[in-house]
């Protein structure tokens, strides 16, 4: 029984995100695309991407496929009914999102790299004490 609950919690975000982006894709063709919808779609796409990146051993899993579908749908969605102002807003948000995802991935990947062979973090060398009488002269 625990497996069913685990599967529900694991797949609910990407499934809901895919449904949301598909619905918003059809709404975006007929109506003006608004920034709130863009932000919600970007949040879901980012959540699906992070969800797919966290377990690279399951690269061909259902979650990773949904993440790729979300990215493709999001890119298609972004180019419907957009003025230059909206395209610049979207590019800015996209750059911010990509930077956030990459920085979180890099932080996860390099978290264990700054350790010495003994397993301790390297401590900075203490700065040498200045000799008495070599400091600034009192007035």
> CB neighbours (10 Å) of residue 10?
15
User: Strands, DSSP E only, in 1-139?
Assistant: none
Rounded CA separation 85/76 (Å): 17
Q: What pTM was estimated for this model as a whole?
A: 0.26
pLDDT in tens, 20-66: 666 666 665 555 556 556 666 666 666 666 666 665 555 556 666 66
Q: Which residue carries 């975006």 as its tokens? A: 28
Rounded CA separation 54/11 (Å): 14
- As a whole number, mean pLDDT of residues 54-82 equals 62
């Amino acid at each position: 029984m625990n497996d069913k609950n685990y599967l529900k919690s694991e797949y609910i975000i990407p499934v809901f995100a895919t449904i949301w982006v598909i619905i918003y894709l059809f709404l975006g063709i007929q109506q003006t695309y608004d920034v709130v919808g863009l932000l919600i779609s970007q949040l879901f796409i980012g959540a699906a991407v992070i969800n797919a990146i966290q377990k690279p051993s399951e690269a061909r899993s259902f979650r990773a496929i949904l993440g790729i579908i979300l990215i493709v749908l999001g890119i298609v969605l972004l180019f419907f009914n957009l003025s230059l102002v909206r395209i610049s807003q979207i590019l800015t948000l996209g750059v911010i999102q990509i930077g956030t995802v990459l920085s979180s991935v890099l932080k996860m990947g390099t978290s264990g790299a700054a350790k010495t062979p003994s397993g301790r973090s390297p401590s900075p060398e203490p700065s040498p004490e200045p000799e008495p009488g070599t400091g600034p002269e009192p007035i």
